[in-house]
Amino acid sequence: MIRALRAPAACVALFAAACGASRAFAQSGNSAGDGASDGPDQAITAATSPTGPLVLLVQGDALLASKPNLAEDPRDAPAGAALRLRRLRVGDDGTIGDFRLRVLFEGEAETAAGTPFTPLAGGRLPFGGSVRATEVYVAWAAYRAFQIAAGSLRVPFSLTRQVDEGDLRLPERAAFADAFLADYRLGAALGGDLGEIIYQAAVMSPDPVLDGQLFDHGVLVAGRLVAEPLGPVGLTPWRRAESDPWYDWFRFAAGLSVLYGTLAAPRTLAFDPELTVQWRSLVVTAEYLFSVRYTDSAAIVPGSTEQGAALEPGVTLLGRSLDLVARGSWERAASANVWAGGAGLTAYAPDSRFRLNAGFERRWTQPVTPGIDGSSYWAIVRLAIVVN
């Protein structure tokens, strides 16, 4: 029990030490906006929530069953059933004039490997432990079409990595996201919302640890471009109210992410096309990842190709009180294919900051290694508090 409380206690301590400066920003800045638009949520900064400046995410899991396979998904939970605090994130937002400061710290439960973070998870602190800094940055957002930020930021690559953990329709992301994609890195970024086009680009350190070796292993450059030609879609279109004037319109968002630099290894080049389609309460998302590494002589490193794909159709019912979703995914690395299928639901309380998220996923590996069962799975019921 004491060990389980270390991460939450450390998060709270770090938050208390950092939020003073951010609170000063908030008290001297502009009043909060309504945060209801779908355009800016894909730019560097979003409209300030009515619940700001506090940022809080608490996720408690009833892990009903788990059979991990860390080669498929390094985020897999330990085997068996358990009750656990899956994630605690605390932080603060502040604004003064055209500037915004955000400070977020996060503690996570241990994976089946006995560590709280996957190899590509960023924002880790130099002294180790189960706490990291996810978003700690200063941004200039005077214009909707052009914003800049510097600090620890979300890597602008892939659709699934842009959706926050508190808004996922299934308890966990598709396995290829944890295996192949970075989440946060230290760097500088620019982005904006041009109406029908949303763009992001960043130059970042490849080091997942915030230490003195940030650029000793090269650099990471990433960008994401999204077109919404028929109307706003955003990152969480399943939360669009029936009273919204765009609700009855068929709309889609098509995007492409590109990355080059050091990820798990240097000279990695990756592409990720994505598609989101919405009509009324139906939302379908899809994306495909292709990644390859090059040698010094610009030849492809044998066996370095990695691929992943996910298709996630879902429907929202009962006036945005219930989300139902299914997911099929695939990943390929080292000549092995991993197929996965799962489904889930999210039930929202009258105050939508309180949520119950439940789901399951089963994976199969082909070809199967002789003498080893090639399947893995998880089933989770999650209670969450999502503020701002």
Is residue 319 left, alpha or beta, with left meaning phi > 0 and alpha meaning psi from -120 to 50?
left
pLDDT at 42: 58
Q: Dihedral sign, CA of 167, 111, 105, 102? A: negative
The number of residues making up the chain comes to 388
Domains and CATH numbers, the chain: 2-387 (2.40.160.10)
Phi–psi pair at 25, nearest 5 degrees: -60, -45
The three-class DSSP label of residue 177 is helix
Q: Are 338 and 363 in contact, with CB atoms under 8 Å apart? A: yes
pTM of structure: 0.86
The answer to whether the beta carbons of residues 186 and 205 sit under 8 Å apart is yes
The tokens describing 164, both together, are 């926050």
What are the per-10-residue average pLDDT scores of the chain (388 residues)?
A: 45 44 42 39 50 83 94 91 96 93 95 92 91 96 96 97 96 95 96 96 95 88 97 93 91 98 94 97 98 92 95 94 97 92 97 96 86 84 94
- CA–CA separation, 304 and 299 (whole Å): 11
Q: Measured between alpha carbons, how far is residue 257 from residues 90, 198, 222, 260, 271 in Å? A: 29, 12, 7, 10, 6
